[in-house]
Structure 1
Amino acid sequence: MKKKLGVLLAMSLLLVGVVACGNNTNGNGGNEANGGNTGGTGTENSAGAGNAAEPTKDSYKIAISQIVEHPSLDATRKGFLAALKDAGIVEGDNLELDYNNAQGDPTNNTTIAQKIAGEKYDLVLAIATPPAQAVAQQVKNSPILFAAVTDPVDAKLVDNLDHPGGNISGASDTNPEAITKLMDFIAANFKDVKSVGLVINQGEPNAVVMANHAEKALDAYGIKLVKASVTNTSEVKQAAESLVGRVDALYITLDNMVVEAVSTIIQVANENDIPFFSSDRDTVEKGAFATIGFKYYDHGYQVGQMAVDVLKNGKKVGDLKVTVPDKLDLIMNLKAAAELGIEVTDAMKDQITDQANNLIE
């Protein structure tokens, strides 16, 4: 009898040990991951800080650094997120997004980049040249994609567009052919234009690169490019006004500072009946007359597809070729033409390939 009781007691102790081990796996295992904290239940710990600090294979953490809010850059960001969503990466579901805006202040780019470098992200997106340069300099532990960058090589983001290498690649928002074609359009359809005024922030590399392309293209027709420099958005209207009477047309590049205050240039152009050309579709939709361009939403979507290749398909970002817009078309705003006193001919309209989308009324 005593022997049976001893056996039963031993079996009972063994069962208790098994149960205790099972509870430790579901409960205290999570507590160990949280520094041995014994507060709360095991379920709370495994679903809380543990997963937040260490995302599962199917969850992602992305940081975005954008220089300023304006239609083109905002459309780029929206297109990027749309491409992710179409691939099943959705903010608030399996995507944690850290969006940062420098509000047009160059010093903020470095601060944002340093903050991003201090954390671990599955991917970093930089929208526009200055934040891309700051992120490239600071962030070494995450793959980086850039968008809305005019000349990635000149900006020293990559050495080779076909084989970027390192932890960075992306998409340029400028095809030099677009600038040349726009200057060709001006020369062919505005015979009285002998000079074109350009409001420009000389401190923005992409604006300088594009201005040089435009100047070279105009020079082939004997047309002079007259520059009016600005150092902040509050100077844009005054700079535009300084060009009145000195030039026959106005033009702006993808100059973030200038585009942010473009409504003031539109006002000056309308009041003085000066044809106004831009480098982006969004400014044409806002009131410029024409551009050779593309949709920035599509540009962002293209970069988003690159992100999917990195996040879901396991590709190395440095192996991805830097892309440029390839769907160029003449984009024209008929309402703006009326405001600017421009007579739009059938010959002008015939140069638009996709009139349903790119002839704005």
Structure 2
Amino acid sequence: MMDHTISISRRRALSMAAAGFATLAGLGLAGCAGGAEAGKTSYKIGVLQLVEHAALDASNKGFVAALDKAGISYTIDQQNAQGDQSACQTIASKLVGDGDDLIFAIATPAAQAVASATTDIPIVGTSITDFAGASLVQSNERPGGNVTGSSDLTPVSDQIDLLVKVLPQARHVGLLYCTAEANSLIQIEMAEKALDAAGLTHSRYTVSSSNEIQQVVESMIGKVDALYAPTDNTIAAGMSTVAMVAQENKLPTVVGCDTMVEDGGMISYSINYEDLGYKAGEMAVKILKGEAKPADMPIETLSKSECKLIVNAAVAKAIGVDLSGITADITV
């Protein structure tokens, strides 16, 4: 029987993960600041999630599922910064001060906050597009420090190919993302290259916070034929607002991940974030057991064969887009 303790600050519990936690006993066991000790029988794990939205929640759930599948005994401290950068720093300092054996960081700003707070405690990150580009590791092939994890780099060029296929009349595409997220810019640049290759024009539409989403999407109306949004945490968290404006104005949306489709996007060719978190959890187990070190563990990704085509049939119908020629893996 595994022992779990959940301490949740400034967030509501992840509903599905919490259900699993609730069935288990809670015993707090002290760890050491340098990571797991050889021969330990129970581990202390801290979690810092940037913000609450479906994709990151799914990553968190997958991580916990991998720990449970491994059969290890652990306590876990779930923390959520609610999208606040200063809160990321505060929580990171807390987790380091608690002497966790390992810290799991969900999304780039969360991982950057933890990495700046410790070079000793092993850090496993996920929902991060480019670890090296975010200065979290020396290289994605050989991290070289105390950070490793799983990347959520999505098949951006395939998503643009999908846009071209389902929206053959589209000529100008609006690219929506948050300027505070460096990894979003990486995806935007990839999308721009793919759009250029397809002969489509494009414009960037940026927000600095969720409060600007409605106004910025409204500013696209009449200027673009389609909206593309990558796996941007701010946009994903505000996807219902994007969807509301887009549907009212019959603007098709091609988005970066499955949960954004579930929240009102029209279509995506997407990785699965629960699988991504599970992969990170498997990496964490190896580190805790002393079977591997972050420095030597390449950043892992989900393969193209693991991606799924997901459509929101109700949204497509509402805005008058015919998806009858598309064979979806998932329809919501």
Same fold (TM over 0.5): yes
Written as runs of structure 1 = structure 2, the 5 A alignment for 1:12-23 is none
Q: What SS class does the counterpart of residue 301 from structure 2 fall into? A: coil
**Residue number among 292, 299, 304 corresponding to 1:322 in the alignment:** 299
- Report sequence identity in percent: 38
Q: What SS class does the counterpart of residue 60 from structure 1 fall into? A: strand
1 CA distance for matches of 2:31 and 2:268?
A: 46
**Residue number among 181, 200, 209 corresponding to 1:223 in the alignment:** 200
Equivalent in the alignment of 1:173: 152
Q: Scaled by the length of structure 1, what TM-score is found? A: 0.79
Q: What SS class does the counterpart of residue 284 from structure 1 fall into? A: helix
Is 2:143–2:296's contact at 8 Å kept on the other side of the alignment? yes
1 CA distance for matches of 2:225 and 2:212?
A: 21
Q: What SS class does the counterpart of residue 191 from structure 1 fall into? A: coil
Q: What SS class does the counterpart of residue 53 from structure 1 fall into? A: coil
2 CA distance for matches of 1:234 and 1:273?
A: 22
Amino acid in the other structure paired with 1:294: I
Q: Is 2:271 the partner of 1:294?
A: yes
Equivalent in the alignment of 2:89: 110
Is 1:120–1:141's contact at 8 Å kept on the other side of the alignment? no
State the 4+ residue runs in structure 1 displaced beyond 4 angstroms: none
Equivalent in the alignment of 2:15: none
Distance apart, 1:54 and its partner CA: 5.7
Q: What SS class does the counterpart of residue 46 from structure 2 fall into? A: strand
Amino acid in the other structure paired with 2:109: P
Is 2:50–2:84's contact at 8 Å kept on the other side of the alignment? yes
Distance apart, 1:225 and its partner CA: 2.1
Distance apart, 1:267 and its partner CA: 0.7
1 CA distance for matches of 2:182 and 2:31?
A: 38
Q: What SS class does the counterpart of residue 225 from structure 1 fall into? A: strand
Equivalent in the alignment of 1:138: 117
Amino acid in the other structure paired with 2:246: A
**Residue number among 244, 260, 265 corresponding to 2:237 in the alignment:** 260
Distance apart, 1:313 and its partner CA: 4.9
Written as runs of structure 1 = structure 2, the 5 A alignment for 1:1-361 is 52-53=29-30, 57-89=40-72, 94-175=73-154, 178-326=155-303, 327-346=306-325, 348-349=326-327, 352=328, 355=329, 358=330, 360-361=331-332
Amino acid in the other structure paired with 2:210: T
Q: What SS class does the counterpart of residue 220 from structure 1 fall into? A: helix
Cα-Cα RMSD:
1.7
Q: Scaled by the length of structure 2, what TM-score is found? A: 0.86
1 CA distance for matches of 2:190 and 2:204?
A: 14
Amino acid in the other structure paired with 1:186: L
Distance apart, 1:188 and its partner CA: 2.8
Cα deviations by residue, 1:117-159 (Å, 9 ceiling, x for unpaired): 2231111111000111111111122111000001111101112
1 CA distance for matches of 2:296 and 2:267?
A: 36
Equivalent in the alignment of 1:32: none
2 CA distance for matches of 1:272 and 1:256?
A: 24
**Could you list the runs of 5+ residues in structure 1 that have no partner in the other structure?**
1-48
Q: What SS class does the counterpart of residue 115 from structure 2 fall into? A: helix
2 CA distance for matches of 1:323 and 1:72?
A: 18
2 CA distance for matches of 1:143 and 1:53?
A: 16
Amino acid in the other structure paired with 1:271: E
Count of residues paired in the alignment: 298
Which structure's residues are more often helix, by fraction? 1
Distance apart, 1:217 and its partner CA: 0.6
**Could you list the runs of 5+ residues in structure 2 that have no partner in the other structure?**
1-26, 33-38
Amino acid in the other structure paired with 1:80: F
Distance apart, 1:65 and its partner CA: 0.9
2 CA distance for matches of 1:290 and 1:52?
A: 45
1:54–1:120 distance in 2 versus 1, CA, 3 Å: closer
Is 2:31–2:100's contact at 8 Å kept on the other side of the alignment? no
Distance apart, 1:230 and its partner CA: 1.2
195-204 vs 120-129, which moves further: 195-204
Q: Which structure exhibits the higher relative contact order, with contacts defined as CA atoms closer than 8 Å and separated by 6 or more residues?
A: 2
